[in-house]
Chains A and B, each alone.
Chain A
Amino acid sequence: MTQQVSPQAFALRGVSKAFRYFKLENLSLELPLGQILGLVGPNGAGKSTTIRLLMGLMTAETGSIEVLGHRVPEQVAAAKAGVAFVSDDMRLFSGATLAWHMRFVASIYPEWDEAYARTLLKHFNLRAEQGVKGLSRGEHIKSMLLLALARRPRLLILDEPTSGLDPVARHELLTELMQIVRDESRSILFSSHNTLDVERICDQIAFIDRGRLVDARDKESFLDRWRRISLDVPTGVTLPRLKDVVNLTLGEQLATLTTDRYEPALDAVLQASGARITDVQRMSLEEIFVASVMRSRAEVQS
């Protein structure tokens, strides 16, 4: 099977998928090779549906999907040869041991790295001979990650992998992911509603809500462009009408303005109106995410 050369790890273009109570609408999203994309959204936003479409587990009603240069679902088996997928709601075969799973996966993937698998086994403090039934939630996730990582995938898809993990297990998992991130030939799609995890490891971020893509760009761009500006607005002063203001909260003499296109020139415009800038804060990814989602919902309602 020849691998096609594609500059993208995956590309979704105009993808829609409708269910009885939910619709993924016109989703376009790309992940360049060697990048890590954090797909962030509240529960039920469409993250898992997006991933299931990428994995060919569901078929889109409109649009096109390409994974590692292969069309999905038509060439899904070839696409999945270079992909490892771990999901929060995925389980291993309950009647077998982890060692059996390792042999099973190794028999399928020529890239299986036994030495790396043994290292991960030790690092995650797992016992290969342990039955899957006896694994704790954290051990189960770690076992699936071991099976995913040791096959040395070109694209790693993680759907809420840290969900339900205790803080130590979460730290171990993210540290391991940070190690993988150093290998620039690998791409990762990391879906989560935990913005702290995403902020830590991702360099591209996409926000999704109610089946719609709210925003997608690189992490630094998000963090650079979003600001919360606190203002002292004396009586009689009217703030100028500014575009790119995501939210404006007005008190008696105090105002808080949130913008997603901050430039130093904005300070001058505000000061020229007579307002006094008391603070300009960078926003956390979580704050940016919440503000983006609230704005998107307001736009949809209006």
Chain B
Amino acid sequence: MKSSVFWALVRKDIYVLRGFMIITVAVGLAALVGMRFGRIGFAIGGILFLTANVAGGIFIAMYSLLTERKEQSNLFALSLPISGFKYDLAKLVSGYVGYGIPWSVLTAIGLAGYFMPYAAADRGMFVYGLVLQLFVMALFSFVLVWLFVVASEVLAGLVILISNICFSLFMVTLNQPEVTRPLHSPHIVWTPFALWAIAGELAVIALSTALALFALSRRRDHLRSL
């Protein structure tokens, strides 16, 4: 082989996903800029930033996996000299890379904002931002992995519905005064809630990835339609 089929498929997915990646970053950055324009700007920008993160992740996961199955271009990819397991693995990697790049850019720029002079009074909210962004990545992992595992459109819809409910519940929990009050500080404070939340989020990412690898290693038929 001239080049690794595995990486050729990953590069192909990134090429196909480039539009979603660019839009996610562009909307997220515009939202961050908007957050600097007063209370209303902060509120609208905040919602837009979260929407870009969450919706971007769901679109990337769905487009990367379901569209290829639905359009049956997976049959073309599977005709290349690659095993079914490695094809699935390439999809998993490209899903993480495809979302990981815009997520990393937005997370890095968003969190860096807390270290700007204008945000000095609220620097403690860095922890809030980190917990939130890690939750978004955990949610993406959950959606990506379950879309891998389920084989019907109805179940795929259910996965997305569950992810939306999880996000709403998490936002309600995260915005409780007893959670946010200690974070409104010029200093970074690692509260027990924040530490537990970060640990839980990292665990969800790790377990989701492990579940995906386990499911893929046991798969005997690699042609799935949806």
| CB–CB B2/A84 < 8 A | no
Bound: A67/B4 CA distance, A:
21
Query: What's the minimum C-beta distance from A118 to chain B, rounded to whole angstroms?
Result: 19
Question: Once the chains bind, are A92 and B80 in contact (CB under 8 Å)?
Answer: no
With both chains docked as a complex, state the minimum distance between the C-beta of A271 and any C-beta of chain B, in angstroms. 56
Bound CA–CA A93/B76 (angstroms): 8
Measured CB to CB, the closest approach of chain B to A89, in angstroms, equals 5
A 109-133 contacts with B by CB, 8 A: 109-110
B44 interface residue (CB < 8 Å to A): no
Q: Check A93–B16 contact: CB distance below 8 A.
A: yes
Contact residues in B for A110 (Cβ distance below 8 Å)? 1-2
Q: Contact check, B75 vs A73: say whether CB atoms are below 8 A apart.
A: no
Which one, A55-63, A193-201, A210-218, is touching chain B?
Answer: A55-63
Give per-residue flags for B73-89: 1 if the beta carbon is below 8 A from chain A beta carbons, else 0.
Answer: 10110111111101000
Closest to A81 in B: B81
Set of chain A residues within 8 Å of B1, measured between Cβ atoms: 1, 81, 108-110
Contacts of B42-69 to chain A: CB distance below 8 A = 67-68
Residues of A contacting B73 with CB < 8 Å? 90-94
Contact call B222/A108, Cβ cutoff below 8 A:
no
Are A77 and B76 neighbours in the complex by a CB distance under 8 Å? no
**Which chain B residues border A93 with CB–CB below 8 Å?**
12, 16, 68, 73, 76
> Which residues in chain B, 1-29, are within 8 Å of chain A measured between CB atoms?
1-3, 5, 8, 12, 15-16, 19
| A144 touching B83 in the complex, CB below 8 Å, given contacts A104-B12, A108-B1 | no
Chain A residue contacts of B81, Cβ below 8 A: 77-78, 80-81, 108
Smallest Cβ-Cβ distance to A132: which chain B residue: B73
Residues of B within 8 A of A57 (CB): 75, 78, 84, 221-223
Give Cα A32–Cα B67 distance, bound, in whole angstroms: 38
- What is the chain A residue whose CB lies nearest that of B225? A89
**Quick check: B76 and A90 within 8 Å, CB to CB?**
yes
Distance in angstroms between the alpha carbons of A77 and B222 in the assembled complex: 14
- Are A144 and B84 in contact, CB atoms less than 8 angstroms apart? no
A235 within 8 A of B: no
> What 0/1 readout, one digit per residue, does chain A (248-263) give for beta carbons within 8 Å of chain B?
0000000000000000
> Which of B3, B72, B220 touches A89 (beta carbons < 8 Å)?
B72
In the assembled complex, which residues on chain B have CB atoms less than 8 Å from the CB atom of A77? 5, 81-83, 86
A107 and B75 contact, Cβ closer than 8 Å, known pairs A52-B223, A80-B82 = no
Chain A residues, CB < 8 A from B79: 55, 80, 83-86, 90
Contact call A73/B16, Cβ cutoff below 8 A: no
Q: For the complex, is B178 an interface residue (Cβ under 8 Å from A)?
A: no
A57-B223, A73-B83, A91-B73 are contacts. A109–B2 as well, Cβ < 8 Å? yes
The answer to whether A96 and B16 have CB atoms under 8 Å apart is yes
Contact between A92 and B223 (Cβ–Cβ < 8 Å)? no
CB distance from A269 to the nearest CB of B (A): 52
Q: Is there contact, CB below 8 Å, between B84 and A90?
A: no
* Docked pose: A141 CA to B79 CA in angstroms: 15
Interfacial chain A residues near B5, Cβ < 8 Å? 77, 108
Show 19 A/B contacts (Cβ-Cβ < 8 Å), sorted by A.
A55-B78, A56-B84, A57-B223, A58-B221, A77-B86, A80-B79, A80-B82, A81-B1, A87-B75, A90-B79, A91-B75, A93-B16, A93-B68, A95-B15, A100-B15, A104-B8, A106-B2, A108-B2, A109-B2
